[in-house]
Amino acid sequence: MSADDSSVRTQRDRRIEVANAAWRVIVREGLDRTSMRAIAQELGATTGVVTHYFRDKEAMILFALERVFEHVLVDMQAAAQGLTGLARLEKMICIALPLKMSDKDDWKVWVAFLGYSIGREHLVIEHRKRYDLLRQFISQELTNLQTAKLIRADIDITLEANALIALVDGIGTGVVICPDQFSAKQQRYLVQRHINSLSA
Amino acid sequence: MSADDSSVRTQRDRRIEVANAAWRVIVREGLDRTSMRAIAQELGATTGVVTHYFRDKEAMILFALERVFEHVLVDMQAAAQGLTGLARLEKMICIALPLKMSDKDDWKVWVAFLGYSIGREHLVIEHRKRYDLLRQFISQELTNLQTAKLIRADIDITLEANALIALVDGIGTGVVICPDQFSAKQQRYLVQRHINSLSA
DNA sequence: ACAAAAACATAACAACTGTTATGATAAAAT
DNA sequence: ATTTTATCATAACAGTTGTTATGTTTTTGT
């Protein structure tokens, strides 16, 4: 092994390239038609690459999902920097929305995974882990707001975190199916109104 | 053809039996693993039955989806009977929620379809038709409420219909993934609060 | 009773699936 | 320089897929 160098292509980098190719195929063809061969072709390589970097198809699929999810979490954290109060929560939630056209593809992958998980309990569990993380994340923010007396004291934090997730999830799938029904402004308005209704 | 009789098994009845078998397989195995052979086996028959009553797999799948959707619409209409005002809308929306354990299976099918549609534009369009119908349906109710001055006059009806659909959709998928996070009482509370916030 | 049509069963088709084994080539380590 | 390891290509495997064709049986219409 060579020393750490920013100009070398590490093993993880290559895994990400494969996952990105998978991501593109999922968006274009759907998850159940995302075959090893389709991914390899999208990558301009053969299936040898895919099998070399991932134990099996499911490991690769989960890696691709994890990338989408992690991406959102990081963006939420970054967007929250420097903000406080309700505006901070509002900004964070909005990051998860498909406000831009490009965000829609991430939502396509997310929705595809949700559907693909039905009947595959271990995938449902994987998905649940991410919802749990999100809930934990939002609950933390709500707790801070409650401590600062910016939202009402009688609010059930877990319930409200779930409600926010449900709202975002509903809008996300709504945009995937009916892109014309949710403008960026409308999405923001719905989140803003919901959060303001929690205000003290 | 014999005369109309309630005790005969019509062609449509048999199609429904096939669709119900498909529904069960979708819930248990997932949509992409719902093969013709699996459906036939669930039905206690062979693939000859399935191919005889449906042009191809997609026609059968769409028929099964339509049944789930129609079922919800009918139930909503039935539940609305005799009710007026905000309580009427509230009751209708709640019908679509997975309040009971048995409702969860319908939501599994719905979510499976959503994911399965990704990358299949004609299925997205089919789904969109149903969202359009739902929106139209809810908009009608909202319009009545607005005319009766029971909700604020400045409310954008289409936006609010979409918001309600998104809320229900978010809760539904939430229950499918995290069944422990939404009690029936909590689901009702969220819908109730949302609708009350529209009150005049 | 007889013919026509509906309701299935069976089997075969070609295409596609994930996985695995085996090679070949290039990089890295010693 | 040589050996080991990482990276990929190729090919074959056994299984599954939707679809179609061809039967066989049952129901129905006349």
Look at the alpha carbons of A43, A48, A51, A53 in this order and tell me if their dihedral is positive or negative: negative
Closest in B27, B165, B189 to A174, CB measured? B165
Is A113 touching B (CB cutoff 8 A)? yes
Concatenate the DSSP letters of all residues of chain B into one string.
-PPP-TTS--HHHHHHHHHHHHHHHHHHH-STT--HHHHHHHHTS-HHHHHHH-SSHHHHHHHHHHHHHHHHHHHHHHHHTT--HHHHHHHHHHHTS--SHHHHHHHHHHHHHHHHHTT-HHHHHHHHHHHHHHHHHHHHHHHHHHHTTSB-TT--HHHHHHHHHHHHHHHHHHHHH-GGG--HHHHHHHHHHHHHTTB-
Q: Does residue A48 lie within 7 Å of nucleic acid chain D, judged by its CB? A: yes
pLDDT of residue B96: 97
CB < 8 Å from B in window 114-133 of A? 114-120, 124, 127-128, 131-132
Residue ranges of domains in chain B, CATH in brackets? 1-54 (1.10.10), 61-196 (1.10.357.10)
- pLDDT at B2 > cutoff 60: no
Any A CB within 8 A of B112 CB:
yes
Burial class (CB in 10 A: 0-12, 13-18, 19+), A189: middle
Per the DSSP assignment, residues forming a β-bridge with A27 are none
A72: closest CA of chain B, how far (Å): 18
Nearest to B118 among A30, A132, A169 (CB): A30
Write down the residue that tokens 């062979």 correspond to.
Answer: B46
For residue B28, the chain A residues in CB contact (below 8 A) are: 119
**Radius of gyration (C-alpha) of chain B in whole angstroms:** 19
A37 vs A200, more confident: A37
Other Cβ atoms less than 10 A from the Cβ of B29: the count is 17
Q: Is pLDDT of B145 > 50?
A: yes
A154-164 pLDDT, tens digit per residue, is: 999 999 999 99
Q: Which nucleotide is nearest to B46 (CA to C1')?
A: C9
Look up the pTM and report it: 0.94
Contacts of A135 in chain B (CB under 8 A): 181
pLDDT band for A12, please (50, 70, 90 cuts): confident
> What's the pLDDT tens digit per position in A64-122?
999 999 999 999 999 999 999 999 999 999 999 999 999 999 999 999 999 999 999 99
Tens of pLDDT along A163-194? 999 999 999 999 999 999 999 999 999 999 99
A25 within 8 A of A16, measured Cβ to Cβ: no
Answer yes or no: do B119 and A162 touch at CB < 8 A.
no
Select from A115, A151, A110 the least CA-distant residue to A134: A110
Distance from CA of B168 to the nearest CA of A (A): 7
Report the distance separating Cα B24 and Cα B44, nearest Å.
13
pLDDT of residue B190: 98
| C1' (C30) to CA (A11) span, angstroms | 22
Whether A58 and chain B come into contact, CB under 8 Å, resolves to no
Q: What is the ipTM of this complex?
A: 0.94
Instruction: Name the residue facing A111 among B26, B114, B171 (closest C-beta).
Output: B114
**Closest residue on chain A to B161 (Cα):** A181
Of the pLDDT bands very low, low, confident and very high (cuts 50, 70, 90), residue A11 is confident
Tell me which chain B residues have a C-beta less than 8 angstroms from the C-beta of A28: 119
When pLDDT is cut at 50, 70 and 90, the band that residue B12 belongs to is confident
Q: Report the C-alpha gap between A106 and B156 in whole angstroms.
A: 28
Q: What is the band of B1 on the pLDDT scale with cuts at 50, 70, 90?
A: very low
Chain-wide mean pLDDT for chain B?
A: 94
**Lowest model confidence (mean pLDDT) among A6-10, A102-106, B70-74:** A6-10
Tell me the residues of chain A between 174 and 193 that have a Cβ less than 8 Å away from chain B.
174, 176-178, 181-182, 186, 189-190, 193
